[in-house]
A and B are shown apart, each in its own frame.
Chain A
Amino acid sequence: DAGVTQSPTHLIKTRGQHVTLRCSPISGHKSVSWYQQVLGQGPQFIFQYYEKEERGRGNFPDRFSARQFPNYSSELNVNALLLGDSALYLCASSPNRAGGFLGNEQYFGPGTRLTVT
């Protein structure tokens, strides 16, 4: 079975631009979470979605938004990009309603490397 897929793999944007990152969960998984990992640091939780509803949110500004589609795929949008948004963006999927929060494992995708110049 295919794992979590993310697109694009790499992306270079200029400050002030907008970016959309995409994630397809493992087949049958209904929960998707997004994380930002700055080089040399641990992942920072951004959002968790289940059944198209936001179930969890980390401490990120309103420039960050996400949505989940009926097929459970998800998009992460970032507006007005800053240099500090340069990071690896990871998507994780989980089979259950509460995602990884009730003990079920999360399965991470390969990530999208975003560079803001």
Chain B
Amino acid sequence: ELKVEQNPLFLSMQEGKNYTIYCNYSTTSDRLYWYRQDPGKSLESLFVLLSNGAVKQEGRLMASLDTKARLSTLHITAAVHDLSATYFCAVAITSGTYKYIFGTGTRLKVLA
């Protein structure tokens, strides 16, 4: 069974600090997605990573994908309060019946 696990589940950090969220998945996939969800809101797409070694950056967030290690990271640089949200990674399985599996989520709180 495909599992997508994120680490940590909860993260409280000071403004200005750097930190990394990890996303491990248990089966072969070269399609990895990152989303942001604010409390009571829907999901906002952040990054789509489609190949081994892919790296994408937007503002203070940078995502990377290592398909051989089945690992994606979301790095936060110089965190600001506005980044407080829950972050999800998701993996697509395209062989056979399509499935789309979300990770457990990382709840990030940036303290002023």
Contact = CB atoms under 8 A, between A and B. Distances in A.
Interface in B45-89: 45, 48, 50, 88
Interface in B29-57: 31, 33, 41-45, 48, 50
A103 B48 contact: yes
Given A41-B105, A42-B103, A43-B43, A101 B98 contact: yes
Categorize the interface residue count of chain A.
20 to 34
Contacts, number: 63
B48 to A, nearest CB: 6
B97 interface: yes
B92 A101 contact: yes
B94 interface: yes
B42 A111 contact: yes
Contact of A101 (B31, B43, B44): B31
Contacts of A106: 33, 45
B13 to A, nearest CB: 21
Contacts of B103: 42
Contact of B94 (A33, A43, A58, A101): A101
B22 interface: no
Interface string A19-61: 0000000000000010100000111110010000001111000
Task: Give the dominant DSSP class at B's interface.
Answer: strand
Chain A CB within 10 Å, residue with most, of B45, B100, B104: B100
B7 to A, nearest CB: 14
Nearest to B32: A103
B33 A45 contact: no
Interface of B: 31, 33, 41-45, 48, 50, 88, 92-94, 97-105
16 contacts: A43-B88, A45-B99, A48-B98, A56-B99, A56-B100, A57-B97, A98-B94, A100-B92, A101-B31, A102-B31, A102-B94, A105-B33, A105-B45, A108-B43, A108-B45, A111-B42
Interface of A: 33, 35, 41-45, 48, 55-58, 90, 92, 98-111
Closest 7 pairs between A and B when the two form their complex, measured CB to CB: A56-B98, A42-B102, A108-B43, A45-B100, A108-B42, A101-B92, A103-B50
